Structure 1
Amino acid sequence: MGTVLKGMSRVRWHDLTHAYGSAADVPGRLSRVAFGDARTSASALCDLGLWLGELAVFDATVEAVPFLWDLAVTDSVNSRSGVVELLQTILEHANPPQIDVQRAAHRAVLDGRSTADMLACDEDAAVRAAAANLVTAIGSHVCESCRPA
């Protein structure tokens, strides 16, 4: 697998949850985004969006974000702009019953600010546009869970 998705096997995905239950299937979808053709990658990214960020954020979201950052900077990934868009979606969604999970998911995206800045200068216009939107979202992010105590 090389350095893309390095360390993914050390995460106890079966102990984590996403929007529809067990996150045991997340590594397979991340791998499909990383190594699939354009159609396979887009389909897997769509699943990840539904599972990890579009409805709410979950403990699996927190663990997945570093791998999403990894995918966003890997030139061979077919759907890098979609990965960046998913990172923004995660930053914009909540999980009020699990405020600590929400804070951790948001922090994992916010911690990638320098990567987003770099992607805003990417050769791929779609990646550049998605990254510029993400940089703006990071810069203006305020939510109840992320406010300093």
Structure 2
Amino acid sequence: MGTILKGVSRVRWHELRHAYGPAADVPGLLSRIAWGDARTSETALSDLGLSIGELAVFDATVAAVPFLWDLAATTTVNSRAGVIELLQTILEHGNPPRPKVQLEAHQAVLSRRPTADRLADDSDPVVRAAAQDLLAAIDRHPNEPCCQV
């Protein structure tokens, strides 16, 4: 799927789950976000958000976060600010019945703080603002584990 999503085909998406069941559709959504025009990218991002972050986080969320960080940092992606907003949504949502998944999803977002720091100085003011909001959410996130495993 190209250099932006390098490694996405190695993930066993069909074995992972999101809000609507098996996550086999996630690579296609990531691809449309990466290479779609503005409308296609935004629609795919909205669909992905509903699947992996807006309702709760899932094991597919954990697998998708590194690819979301790469999309946010790639200047040719049309919906970078929206990707950053999805990362913040993931950090702020949980899955109380599955605390291990919640912890892993949050750690996946938190682990790339240096990328958020770089994006907070991006030339695009919308990306910059979204990154600054994400950094504030990271700073508010508890230092101790956010949930009991």
Asked if TM exceeds 0.5, the reply is yes
State the partner residue of 2:77.
Answer: 77
Q: Distance in 2 between matches of 1:141 and 1:147?
A: 11
Q: Return the letter of the residue paired with 1:71.
A: L
Q: Return the letter of the residue paired with 1:129.
A: A
SS at match of 1:2: coil
CA contact (8 A) 1:72 1:81 kept: yes
State the partner residue of 1:59.
Answer: 59
When normalised by structure 1's length, the TM-score is 0.96
Q: Structure 2 stretches of 5 or more lacking a match?
A: none
Q: Structure 1 stretches of 5 or more lacking a match?
A: none
State the partner residue of 1:114.
Answer: 114
Aligned positions of 1:1-149 closer than 5 A: 1-142=1-142, 145-146=145-146
Q: Distance in 2 between matches of 1:119 and 1:145?
A: 26
Structure 1 residue 2, shift from structure 2 partner = 3.2
CA contact (8 A) 2:18 2:58 kept: yes
CA RMSD of aligned residues (A): 1.6
Q: Distance in 2 between matches of 1:147 and 1:40?
A: 35
Aligned length: 149
Structure 1 residue 112, shift from structure 2 partner = 0.9
Q: Return the letter of the residue paired with 1:46.
A: S
CA contact (8 A) 1:99 1:145 kept: no
Q: Which moved more, 1:133-142 or 1:23-32?
A: 133-142
When normalised by structure 2's length, the TM-score is 0.96
SS at match of 2:116: helix
